[in-house]
């Protein structure tokens, strides 16, 4: 599965919504259940799915899914080195 | 006694007085695009909604639930329900399945107005809602079925004319506001058309807007502050106001304050604490010189936030206190009062507040006790919908027991101490431990659970869950995530525990009641005190 597919799976699980379609432009304002509290769920789920860790400042600073995906790719690349 | 219908007082009156084109709402979208809406616009659109509701069989006293995020159509829908003489019930989009079911079921909602992305939540529970007849979606172009209709389509086909009673009995039900208690399901505080007088008067007394002042209340309309001081009071007094469509966003909020030259800003301590975590440079980049005053509500405005806010925004911050049940601000700070940082302020004119002990005896100044109000103010809730017993429990003769502990100082200022019950105030949302515990108990790995609130520097209180696992289970990050997601999607995002602790047994008394004080003491590293009644 691609990163995007795995991330879609995480989103649908966390927000219990099979119809979520992720895109780089997607933000919390586009998903009804995505607020600062469920955002923590999302971050934990991503950490577990990809075996990576976010630090506190990263967690609060993703402006959209595009930035989130870029960070995941970056962490996975570093992990593989 | 007859009073103006809320919709008449807030909309039609302006149109009839030749002020229909006046700005009622300056809408700011998440991309910072702006749109200005007039009183006439909302009067017209709400008439369309009312006509549609009547056509669909809504009669006076029927409940219409509004399950969409803050938006101009939400406001039109709310006033449309008022014109149709129905009972409006605005619900948070973040509610989970159980939370939504509790509210739609208790309110006997006949129609739910929602949007595509939230529709699945309603269809999932529709079979458990025998009263529900129609679902109207705001963003489908066409009707989806006989029971899922496009409100957008219906509105284009409906004339903006609706004849409705301008004057109604003051006790006519208007809207429901759900709130949580220590035990049991969420309770719907019922408010009436006659409440608007108090809402407007409190707005004038405390906010003290001058002509042309621009006002901004950041509260979501599914919260009592959002509906009373984001819709009813500003519309009812003809105030100019701005609303931002998204949730908290520091950059967009600060830009909105500056570019729109907001004068009076009503927000919450949690929002201020979140702003406080932002880079200091963010604040120096903006000019907040148009701001005259700030107001706060939802949780105590602790002195640290108060002093930070004054330093950054260079204006006075006035804390206010009230509840879903009180319908309007009861205690507050306002000009020309001297603010005592950390104090709730003083009762507003016409409100009698006092401190009692558990035997309802009046307590002297400085002595902590139950914060009580003399029954009878106009915006007081009239009942808990379909739960008269819970309503009666809130009163002792003519005294309303707020559920908060406080004390009054010798100068008449009130000081919040804590909740008197087990309800957890997290980021201004009241969460009943029962709701969280019930959800967690449905998780197969958990055999027992207890939930408490603990002090939190951001949220005021954070939810702590103590769980007893099945013997063959061990705690893991995956199980924690499962619990967090389950509570979020079952109850609400606001009910997600911030921490989980695995314990061998949940402390209970001999009748099986959870001893939360024992858990609190253990959590805080304090002596749990008398545990002789423990099971």
A52 neighbourhood in chain B, CB within 8 Å = none
Do B94 and A35 count as a contact with CB atoms less than 8 A apart? yes
Predicted TM-score (pTM) of the model is: 0.90
Residue pair B125/B100 in contact (Cβ under 8 Å)? The answer is yes
For the structural domain made of A3-80, what CATH number should be given?
A: 1.10.1200.10
B68 belongs to a structural domain:
yes
**B380-433 pLDDT tens trace:** 999 999 999 999 999 999 999 999 999 999 999 999 988 888 899 998 888 989
Domain ranges of chain A: 3-80
Rounded Cα distance between B212 and B28, Å, is: 18
Angle at B393 between CA B398 and CA B487, to 5 degrees: 140
> Could you tell me if B117 lies within 8 Å of chain A, comparing CB atoms?
yes
Percent of chain B whose pLDDT exceeds 90: 87
Question: Does residue B270 sit at the A interface (CB-CB below 8 Å)?
Answer: no
Rounded CA-CA distance A73/A78 in Å is 9
- CB contacts under 8 A, A 25-64 vs B, are 27-29, 31-33, 35-38, 40-41, 44-45, 48, 60
Find chain A residues with C-beta within 8 A of B94's C-beta: 32-33, 35, 38
Q: Which residues of B touch A33 (CB under 8 A)?
A: 93-94, 488-489, 493
Query: Is there a domain that residue B396 lies in?
Result: no
Least confident segment among A49-63, B116-130, B339-353, B490-504: A49-63
**Cβ of residue B402 closer than 8 Å to a chain A Cβ:** no
Q: Looking at residue A18, what is its pLDDT?
A: 86
In this structure, the strands spanning B87-90 and B173-179 are parallel
What integer is the mean pLDDT of B507-533?
Answer: 81
Residue that finishes a domain, picked among B126, B161, B189? B189
Give residue A50's pLDDT.
95
Domain boundary among B189, B217, B248: B189
Number of domains in chain B: 2
Which residue in the set A19, A37, A45 is minimally distant from B496, CB to CB?
A: A37
Check B93 against A32: CB less than 8 A apart: yes
Location of structure tokens 């009263």: B131
Q: How confident is the model at residue B526 (pLDDT cuts 50, 70, 90)?
A: confident
CATH number at residue B467: 3.30.300.30
User: Hunting for tokens 């709730």 — which residue is that?
Assistant: B344
Closest-CA residue of chain A to B29: A29
- Which positions in chain A touch B245 (Cβ < 8 Å)? 29
Contact criterion met (CB < 8 Å) for B117 and A17: yes
For residue B531, is pLDDT > 70? no
Is the peptide bond preceding residue B336 cis, with omega within 30 degrees of 0? yes
Residue B145 included in any domain: yes
Contact with chain A for residue B476, Cβ under 8 A? no
User: Which residues does chain B have within 8 Å of residue A29's beta carbon, measured at their own beta carbons?
Assistant: 30, 245-247
Average pLDDT on B327-355 reads 97
User: What mean pLDDT comes out for the span B459-473?
Assistant: 94
The answer, for B478 touching chain A at a CB cutoff of 8 Å, is: yes
Distance CA B146, CA B194 (A): 36
Q: pLDDT digits over B51-101, tens only?
A: 999 999 999 999 999 999 999 999 999 999 999 999 999 999 999 999 999
Q: What is the pLDDT of residue A6?
A: 94
Residues of A in contact with B99 (CB under 8 A): none
Q: Best residue in A29, A37, A50, A61 to probe B by mutation, most B CBs within 10 Å?
A: A37
- Tell me what ipTM this predicted complex has: 0.92
Is B484's CB within 8 Å of A29's CB?
no
Task: Look up tokens 């909309």; give the residue.
Answer: B11
Interval A31-69: pLDDT, tens: 888 988 899 999 999 999 999 999 888 887 888 999 999
Domain that holds residue B58: 38-189
| Closest-CA residue to B501 (of B469, B534, B535, B459) | B469
**Residue in B with minimal Cα distance to A62:** B249
Residue B96 lies in a domain: yes
The domain spanning residue B93 has which CATH number? 3.40.50.980
B236: phi then psi, degrees, rounded to nearest 5: -70, -20
What SS3 class is residue B190? strand
Q: Within 10 Å of residue B179's Cβ, how many Cβ atoms?
A: 20
- B357 in contact with A, Cβ within 8 Å: no
User: What mean pLDDT comes out for the span B483-492?
Assistant: 94
Of B189, B222, B241, the domain-final residue = B189
Cβ pairs bridging A and B (under 8 Å): 58
Would B263 be classed as within a structural domain?
Answer: no
Please name the residue of chain B whose CA is at the shortest distance from the CA of residue A18: B120
């Amino acid at each position: 599965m691609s990163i995007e597919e795995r991330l879609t799976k995480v989103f649908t699980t966390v927000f219990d919504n099979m119809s979520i379609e992720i895109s780089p432009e997607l933000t919390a304002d586009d998903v009804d259940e995505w607020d600062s509290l469920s955002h923590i769920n999302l971050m934990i789920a991503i950490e577990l799915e990809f075996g990576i860790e976010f630090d506190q400042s990263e967690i609060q600073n993703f402006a959209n899914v595009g930035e989130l995906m870029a960070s995941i790719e970056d962490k996975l690349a570093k992990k593989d080195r | 006694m007859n009073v103006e219908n809320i919709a008449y007082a807030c909309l039609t009156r302006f149109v009839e007085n030749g002020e229909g084109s006046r700005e009622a709402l300056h809408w700011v979208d998440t991309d910072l695009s702006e749109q200005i809406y007039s009183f006439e616009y909302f009067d017209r659109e709400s008439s369309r909604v009312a006509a549609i509701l009547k056509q669909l069989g809504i009669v006076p006293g029927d409940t219409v639930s509004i399950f969409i995020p803050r938006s101009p159509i939400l406001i039109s829908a709310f006033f449309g329900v008022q014109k149709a003489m129905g009972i409006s019930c605005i619900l948070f989009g973040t509610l989970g399945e159980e939370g939504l079911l509790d509210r739609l079921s208790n309110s006997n909602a006949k129609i739910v107005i929602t949007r595509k992305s939230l529709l699945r939540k309603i269809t999932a529970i529709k079979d458990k809602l025998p009263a529900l007849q129609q679902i109207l979606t705001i963003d489908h172009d066409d009707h989806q079925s006989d029971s899922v209709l496009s409100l957008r389509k219906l509105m284009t086909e409906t004339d903006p004319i609706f004849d409705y009673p301008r004057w109604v009995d003051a006790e006519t039900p208007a809207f429901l506001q759900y709130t949580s208690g220590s035990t049991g399901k969420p309770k719907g505080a019922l408010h009436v058309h006659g409440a608007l007088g108090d809402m407007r008067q409190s707005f004038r007394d405390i906010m003290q807007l001058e002509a042309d002042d621009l006002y901004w209340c950041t509260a979501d309309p599914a919260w009592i502050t959002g509906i009373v001081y984001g819709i009813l009071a500003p519309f009812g007094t003809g105030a100019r106001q701005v609303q931002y469509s998204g949730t908290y966003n520091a950059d967009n909020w600060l830009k909105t304050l500056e570019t729109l030259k907001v004068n009076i800003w009503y927000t919450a301590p949690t929002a201020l604490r979140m702003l406080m975590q932002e880079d200091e440079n963010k604040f120096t980049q903006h000019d907040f010189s148009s701001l005259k005053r700030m107001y706060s509500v939802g949780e105590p405005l602790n002195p640290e936030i108060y002093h930070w806010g004054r330093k950054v925004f260079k204006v006075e911050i006035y804390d206010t206190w009230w509840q879903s049940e009180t319908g309007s601000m009861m205690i507050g700070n306002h000009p020309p009062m001297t603010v005592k940082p950390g104090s709730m302020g003083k009762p507003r004119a016409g409100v009698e507040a006092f401190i009692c002990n558990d035997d309802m005896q009046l307590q002297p100044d400085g002595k902590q006790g139950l914060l009580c109000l003399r029954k009878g103010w106009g915006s007081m809730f009239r009942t808990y919908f379909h739960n008269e017993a819970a309503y009666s429990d809130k009163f002792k003769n003519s005294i309303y027991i707020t559920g908060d502990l406080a004390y009054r100082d010798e100068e008449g200022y009130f000081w919040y101490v804590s909740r008197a019950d087990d309800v957890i105030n997290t980021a201004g949302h009241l969460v009943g431990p029962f709701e969280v515990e019930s959800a967690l108990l449905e998780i197969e790995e958990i055999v027992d659970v207890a939930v408490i609130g603990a002090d939190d520097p951001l949220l005021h209180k954070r939810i702590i869950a103590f769980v007893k696992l099945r013997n063959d289970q061990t705690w893991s990050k995956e199980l924690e995530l499962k619990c967090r997601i389950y509570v979020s999607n079952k109850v609400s995002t606001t009910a997600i525990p911030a921490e989980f602790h695995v314990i061998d047994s949940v402390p209970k008394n001999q009748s099986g009641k959870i001893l939360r004080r024992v858990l609190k003491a253990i959590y805080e590293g304090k002596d749990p005190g008398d545990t002789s009644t423990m099971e």
